[in-house]
Amino acid sequence: MSTPDREFKDAIYEQLARIGRAVDHPRRLELLDLLCQGPMTVEQLAAKSSMPLASASQHLQQLREARMVQAQRHGSHVVYRLADEHVCDFFVALRDLAQRRYSEIKAVSEEFLADLQALEAVDGTRLQNRVNSGEVVLLDVRPPEEYATGHWPGAWSVPLDTLASRLRDLPRDRTIVAYCRGPYCVLAPHAVKRLREAGFQAIRLAEGPGDWRTKGLALAVGDRPSDDPRPPLLPSDGE
């Protein structure tokens, strides 16, 4: 191959390798997974990933240098967000490829999620029909700020740390389906375990908002009082 041709290929693949170097640490992959939920401050990302603030900041800076995330200062806080929706698409594709290639992922997942039946894949129309008909109650057990950024239409916002106090509000004659950030988020499995212990029929939805955005499914955006678990289709008293 001629020198100009070789130089051209070397230059292209060097740029592609920047992505590989940016995601060559498990903590940075976790940060991308979190940012698929929506923008977050450095403090929020550090807390949700159980990382020291300095470590989270360092990893975020490396992702920023690779142009995978953007940062903007709001007052005393720095808020990070994905550079665009293609970054989340990339993360989901990378995660799915790893699942197909590495049996270790399946083994670890099955051990942790033993006996927790999961709805692994989503047929958007079918699931929405089940929610609309009242056949199932869909619980978003992520923190409220993540729910507000994007959630399944009709899902109730019941963060995991409020679940115990909200059990009296949940119907016992319907199946409760809990979801969180995706297949490796532990919030939904813990929610299902607590619901079953309280006598509810509960299963988890393995996918999360990042998966649904990648599939082109439209998510609902907006806040709802955390102490009102009723579906957004139903008006609050006085509305």
What are the sequence ranges of the domains in the chain? 3-87, 107-214
For the domain bounded by 107-214, which CATH number is listed?
3.40.250.10
Look at residue 99 and tell me whether its pLDDT is greater than 70: yes
Look at residue 2 and tell me whether its pLDDT is greater than 80: no
SS (H, E, C) 82-140: ECCHHHHHHHHHHHHHHHHHCHHHHHHHHHHCCCCCEECCCCHHHHHHHHHHCCEEEEE
Identify the active-site residue in 36, 88, 180, 185.
Answer: 180
pTM of the predicted protein model? 0.83
| CATH fold group of domain 3-87 | Arc Repressor Mutant, subunit A (1.10.10)
Look at residue 136 and tell me whether its pLDDT is greater than 50: yes
Counting residues of the chain whose pLDDT is more than 70, the rounded percentage is 88
Q: What are the pLDDT digits (tens) for 156-208?
A: 999 999 999 999 999 999 999 999 999 889 999 999 999 999 999 998 888 99
Could you confirm whether 185 is annotated as catalytic? no
